[in-house]
């Protein structure tokens, strides 16, 4: 490793990959980013559906190294987030490091480094491999018979077809989660005929989303005000969200607030159907910026709670025999949240693959590393705070930590991976915390095949604290080259 130039390869040019790229660039470390698409932005590039707004405050959804004073709203529309990410890539000169339309299909640790293979057949060597491949990236489709027989336009919410006119079409939206709610609400206010197919009611946050005033934008430009505002926001996150972590009166008060939103529904039967039968927070809470509950009471909106039996050429047939004729079918059916960097085939020491490691359950050390996979660092991997810390803030914690590990790898010519014992301790610590949280007790996309939610069940400041200092005792630091020997890494 000492003979050649040290190199980091980042896979993915979404928010995480760009954040990492900026840090490496500033540290003067050689790196390249491989991105399978033609553009940066990941989530915000792919999801362009009507009604998409960021679910945390716009001010919380910023790279800490590039504040934005020009958000148009309290919660910015998706397109504005994407424009901001593109602007950051341009301003920071990050595009020159990115190889677009280059998908990494496999990664193998051999000798002292990672060998990454692109779909085009190129092999790329890396001393450190950073997987910034996203956690909501692989679209999921429902297993409903007849999907291919539909003759109208149909697409996933992550691949909106903007050539389809809104008006004069009968729209079907399959899915009652965050995307399904935002899409139905947007189509409803466009006066489209829209039927939303809902398997299970969700708690919906009906929120105000006012435009930012010129005065607010100007105030934020004052450095002192800006710093104070950021500190306030972080405090707000830490103190305002504890109801998710520990039971107490705050949890009951939150649920009362959400029940209150449902009062906007006049028909008691519809209100009953839209009232969840599980506690608030167990699923990710969809946000409504234009009052979903008012929208669904419009005459052009129909809600269907039954089971879809099959999709046919001109619509959807329900299990009770009712048929809905449709011209457009939108799959707002979410993503495979436990794919992480897969379908890429990732092989660590002793030929152990990621699929083998995660056979019983998906896990990690800190959300960022895996035993037996030296110098592989994930951004927002398993157990990252996908629900209770705004992603850029969580990334800031993770990337600060990873940078310290990379510095040591470079300086001392070593490989670093968490020990199996430390990983087990980490997983056990989180497992112990789950029973107190709101994340258990219902079916949700966080949970794995064992029913354990794969997210951060502790306070938000505990996330910051975990990454503030490197617990070197948890890590196996080996001089290169690494020989796997007969050490076998067992799945947790």
| Tokens encoding 411 | 């300086």
Q: Does residue 379 touch ligand FAD according to CB under 6 A?
A: yes
176 touching ligand FAD, by CB under 6 A: no
For the record, the structure tokens of 135 come out as 């956690």
Shortest Cβ 347–ligand FAD spacing (Å): 14
Task: Name which position in 8, 9, 10, 16 contacts ligand FAD (CB under 6 A).
Answer: 16
Q: How many residues does the chain have?
A: 492
CA dihedral sign of residues 295, 296, 297, 302: positive
Place of tokens 């920071």: 92
Residue 8 pairs in a beta bridge with 31, 128
In the list 133, 333, 347, 423, the residue contacting ligand FAD (rule: CB under 6 A) is 133
Structure tokens at 47: 């999801």
Q: Which of residues 55-84 bind ligand FAD (CB under 6 A)?
A: 55-56
Q: With respect to ligand FAD, which residue has the nearer C-beta, 391 or 492?
A: 391
Per CB under 6 A, the list member of 7, 17, 63, 452 interacting with ligand FAD is 17
Nearer to ligand FAD, 17 or 50 (CB): 17
By CB under 6 A, name the one of 84, 109, 380, 467 that touches ligand FAD.
Answer: 380
Strands (E), 236-381: 287-288, 301-304, 308-312, 315-318, 323-325, 328-331, 345-347, 376-378
Among residues 8, 89, 94, 104, the one that binds ligand FAD under rule CB under 6 A: 104
Distance CA 224, CA 216 (A): 14
Q: Closer to ligand FAD at the Cβ: 132 or 357?
A: 132
Candidates 42-50, 212-220, 252-260, 314-322; binding stretch for ligand FAD (CB under 6 A): 42-50
Residue of 10, 21, 54, 368 that binds ligand FAD (CB under 6 A) = 54
Alpha-carbon gap, residue 136 to 132, rounded angstroms: 12
Q: Which helix (H) or strand (E) holds 464?
A: helix 460-468
Between 13 and 362, CB nearer to ligand FAD:
13
| Residue number with CB closer to ligand FAD (11 or 420) | 11
The verdict on 43 binding ligand FAD (CB under 6 A) reads: yes
Stretch of 7-15, 62-70, 160-168, 259-267 contacting ligand FAD, by CB under 6 A: 7-15
Q: Which is nearer to ligand FAD, 15 or 328 (CB)?
A: 15
Nearer to ligand FAD, 15 or 376 (CB): 15
Distance of alpha carbon 274 from alpha carbon 53, whole angstroms: 22
Piece of 30-38, 162-170, 428-436, 484-492 that binds ligand FAD (CB under 6 A): 30-38
Strands 323-325 and 153-156: unpaired
Q: Is residue 243 involved in binding ligand FAD (CB under 6 A)? A: no
For 52, the token pair is: 């998409």
The SS3 of residue 318 is: strand
Decide: is 34 part of the binding site for ligand FAD (CB under 6 A). yes
Distance in angstroms (rounded) separating the CA atoms of residues 40 and 270: 42
Does residue 37 touch ligand FAD according to CB under 6 A? yes
In which residue are the tokens 């039954």 written? 306
Give the nearer residue to ligand FAD in terms of CB position, either 334 or 372: 334
User: Rounded to an integer, what distance in angstroms lies between the CA atom of residue 399 and that of residue 18?
Assistant: 11
Asked if 103 is part of the footprint of ligand FAD (rule: CB under 6 A), the reply reads yes
Does position 12 bind ligand FAD by CB under 6 A? yes
> What is the C-alpha to C-alpha distance for residues 311 and 317, in angstroms, rounded to an integer?
6
Between 206 and 265, CB nearer to ligand FAD:
206
- Residue 338 touches ligand FAD, criterion: CB under 6 A: no
Q: Is 139 helix (H, G, I), strand (E, B) or coil?
A: strand
Q: Which residues contact 15 (CB under 8 A, 6 or more apart)?
A: 41, 42, 43, 44, 63, 85, 391, 392, 395
Strand 170-174 relative to strand 104-110, pairing: unpaired
Non-local CB neighbours of 66 within 8 Å, separated by 6+ positions: 88, 91, 92
Selected binder of ligand FAD within 32, 76, 136, 254 (CB under 6 A): 136
CB-CB contact of 8 with 128 (8 Å): yes
> Strands 308-312 and 315-318: what pairing?
antiparallel
Structure token digits, residue 244: 């998710």
Q: For ligand FAD, which is the closer residue by CB, 390 or 453? A: 390
Question: Least distance in Å: CB of 15 to ligand FAD?
Answer: 4
Residue 367 in the binding site for ligand FAD (CB under 6 A):
no
Q: Does 47 bind ligand FAD (CB under 6 A)?
A: yes
- Site membership for ligand FAD, residue 13 (CB under 6 A): yes
Enumerate binding residues for ligand FAD (CB under 6 A).
11-17, 34-37, 42-43, 47, 54-56, 103-104, 132-134, 136-137, 179, 344, 379-380, 390-391
């Amino acid at each position: 490793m000492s003979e050649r130039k040290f190199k980091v390869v980042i896979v993915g040019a979404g928010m995480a990959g760009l954040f990492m790229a900026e840090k490496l660039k500033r540290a003067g470390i050689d790196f390249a980013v491989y991105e399978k698409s033609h553009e940066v932005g990941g989530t915000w590039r792919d999801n362009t559906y009507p009604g998409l707004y960021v679910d945390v405050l716009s001010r919380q959804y910023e790279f800490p190294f590039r504040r934005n004073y020009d958000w148009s709203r309290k919660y910015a529309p998706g397109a504005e987030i994407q424009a901001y990410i593109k602007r950051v890539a341009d301003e920071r000169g990050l595009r020159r490091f990115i190889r677009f339309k280059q998908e990494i299909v496999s990664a193998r640790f051999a000798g002292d480094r990672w060998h990454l293979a692109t779909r085009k057949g190129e092999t790329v060597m890396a001393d450190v491999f950073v997987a910034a491949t996203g956690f909501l990236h692989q679209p999921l489709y429902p297993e409903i018979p007849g999907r291919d027989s539909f003759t109208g336009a149909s697409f996933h919410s992550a691949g909106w077809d903007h050539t389809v006119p809104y008006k004069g079409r009968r729209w079907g939206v399959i899915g009652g989660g965050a995307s399904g709610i935002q899409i139905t609400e947007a189509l409803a206010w466009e006066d489209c005929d829209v039927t939303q197919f809902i398997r299970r009611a969700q708690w919906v946050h009906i929120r105000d989303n006012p435009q930012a005033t010129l005065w607010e934008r100007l105030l934020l430009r004052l450095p002192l005000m800006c710093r104070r505002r950021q500190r306030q926001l972080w405090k707000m996150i830490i103190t305002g969200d504890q109801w998710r972590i520990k039971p107490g009166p705050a949890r009951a008060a939150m649920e009362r607030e959400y029940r209150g939103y449902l009062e906007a529904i006049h028909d008691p039967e519809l209100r009953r159907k839209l009232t969840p039968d599980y506690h608030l927070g167990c699923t990710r809470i969809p946000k409504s910026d234009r009052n979903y509950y008012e929208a669904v009471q419009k005459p052009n909106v129909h809600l269907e709670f039954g089971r879809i039996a099959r999709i046919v050429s001109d619509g959807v047939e329900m299990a009770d025999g009712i048929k809905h004729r449709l011209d457009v079918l939108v799959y707002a059916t979410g993503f495979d949240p436990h794919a992480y960097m897969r379908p890429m085939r990732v092989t660590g020491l002793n030929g152990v693959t990621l699929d083998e490691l995660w056979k019983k359950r998906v896990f990690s050390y800190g959300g960022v590393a895996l035993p037996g996979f030296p110098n592989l660092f994930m951004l927002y991997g398993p157990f990252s705070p996908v629900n209770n810390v705004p992603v850029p803030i969580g990334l800031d914690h993770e990337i600060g930590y990873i940078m310290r590990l990379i510095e040591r790898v470079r300086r001392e010519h070593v490989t670093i991976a968490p020990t199996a014992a430390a990983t087990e301790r980490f997983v056990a610590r989180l497992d112990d915390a789950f029973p107190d949280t709101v994340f258990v007790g219902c079916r949700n996309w966080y949970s794995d095949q064992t029913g354990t939610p794969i997210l951060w069940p502790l306070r938000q400041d505990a996330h910051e604290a975990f990454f503030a200092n490197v617990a070197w005792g948890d890590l196996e630091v080996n001089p290169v080259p690494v020989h796997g020997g007969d050490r076998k890494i067992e799945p947790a």
